[in-house]
Amino acid sequence: MALLDILEFPDPRLRTQAKPVTQFDAALRKLTEDMLETMYDAPGIGLAATQINVHQQVIVMDVSEDKSQPMVFINPQITVVGGEKEYEEGCLSVPGFHENVVRPDVIHVKALNAQGEAFELQADGLLSVCLQHEMDHLNGVLFVDHISRLKRDRIRRKLEKQHKVAAPRS
Ligand code: GNR
Ligand code: NI
């Protein structure tokens, strides 16, 4: 197992469009295990491969209270069922900032597991919010794209300043 580095906004690599997974092999299972370890360590409730600079359609999540329900979604497809909900979102790629985002509430998801087997589920509440947030990552979209430009620019400037301070010397 290994901890992976998480890209931070406004890194342009976070804008990459992820490609569907075609090989359900040991390397994919190692990737999902390393992503879960990285997510639990952070700690976070979800992680998309885009965030660790791997541009394949892979998501890991665990929205359970006691962190006992790891979930893996490969090549997910989401259809909106209905409703609308506002939730205060955060992101491991936008550390230290939280903002309210409005999204559809109920969704239907079709995906594959790490073995390549298809499954479907209907989600609402936190599971739905998190899945939509992770799906956005695979499409190069961040939660800050759903808030005002004023707030987004303020967050970008603060993170750029932090990255300058934290940058290794040459
Ligand atoms: O850990 C996370 N918490 C969270 C809270 C509200 C809405 C979405 C999330 S996902 C986030 C982890 C992350 O950045 N996933 O991409
Ligand atoms: Ni995120």
Portion of the chain with pLDDT greater than 90, in percent: 96
Distance 13 CA to ligand 1 centre (A): 18
Distance CA 157, CA 150 (A): 11
Active site residue 120: no
* Coil vs helix vs strand at 155: helix
Residue of 92, 126, 134, 136 with the most ligand 1 atoms within 8 Å of its CB, for mutation: 92
Q: What is the pLDDT of residues 98-119, one digit of tens each?
A: 999 999 999 999 999 999 999 9
Phi, psi dihedral angles at 118 (to 5 degrees): -75, 145
Nearest to 132 by CA among 55, 46, 13: 46
* Contact criterion met (CB below 8 Å) for 52 and 79: no
* Residue 67: half-sphere exposure toward Cβ, Cα within 13 Å: 10
Q: What is the pLDDT of residues 27-52, one digit of tens each?
A: 999 999 999 999 999 999 999 999 99
Distance CA 67, CA 139 (A): 26
Distance CA 55, CA 155 (A): 24
Nearest to 137 by CA among 4, 3, 11: 11
* Contact criterion met (CB below 8 Å) for 122 and 79: no
Q: What pTM does this model have?
A: 0.96
47 touches ligand 1 (CB under 6 Å):
yes
103 touches ligand 1 (CB under 6 Å):
no
Q: What is the pLDDT of residues 63-86, one digit of tens each?
A: 999 999 999 999 999 999 999 999
Phi, psi dihedral angles at 87 (to 5 degrees): -145, 140
Q: Report the 10 Å Cβ neighbour count for 169.
A: 3
Residue of 86, 88, 89, 91 with the most ligand 1 atoms within 8 Å of its CB, for mutation: 91
